[in-house]
Amino acid sequence: MQQVKFGIRFTVNDYAYGELANFVECADNLDDDVRERYTDFLNDLMGKRVKPSTLVDVDVLEVFGSDLDNRAHIDYLEGNYDGAPGALDDPDIVAGGKMFWGRYNKLKQVHPTLKFSNLSQYA
């Protein structure tokens, strides 16, 4: 299994912890092998045991990046929380989505050859 350094700093605040826990809950549709390694990675990330130098399986990092992208679209980019009719106005969610968008873009910058698109576990 090919591994790469995680390559970014990832702050686990309340928003991130809740969403990472949601990623774990929603990992059921991943193949067994990937799901186990992905949930182990997410648990390590929530436990603040992942550093930029931590080696991560490429396929796990691709799923993670795709999930960050998906969540950022929902909470930040698509305007679901920005005062649109029927939207919830929660600045913490918008800020969290913006943080995930930044981390996703940093992952793309650090790992330009990885395939993040269309891999979201929610797709």
Tell me: pLDDT of 117 over 70. no
Tell me: pLDDT of 46 over 90. yes
Contact yes or no for 8/106 (Cβ under 8 A):
yes
Q: What distance in Å separates the CA atoms of residue 85 and residue 83, rounded to the nearest whole number? A: 6
Q: Which residue has the tokens 């929902």?
A: 74
Q: What distance in Å separates the CA atoms of residue 50 and residue 52, rounded to the nearest whole number? A: 7
In this prediction, residue 123 carries a pLDDT of: 41
Domain ranges of the chain: 3-110
Q: Which of 101, 114, 110, 35 is nearest to 74 (CA)?
A: 101
pLDDT, tens digit (0-9, with 9 covering 90-100), for 61-101: 999 999 999 999 888 877 665 555 555 567 788 889 999 99
In this prediction, residue 81 carries a pLDDT of: 57
DSSP type of residue 116 = -
Helix (H) or strand (E) holding 36: helix 32-46
pLDDT, tens digit (0-9, with 9 covering 90-100), for 2-43: 999 999 999 999 999 999 999 999 999 899 999 999 999 999
In this prediction, residue 61 carries a pLDDT of: 97
DSSP type of residue 74 = I
The per-type count for the chain, helices as H runs and strands as E runs, is 4, 2
Mean pLDDT computed over 49-66:
96
Helix (H, G, I), strand (E, B) or coil at 32: helix
pTM of the model: 0.87
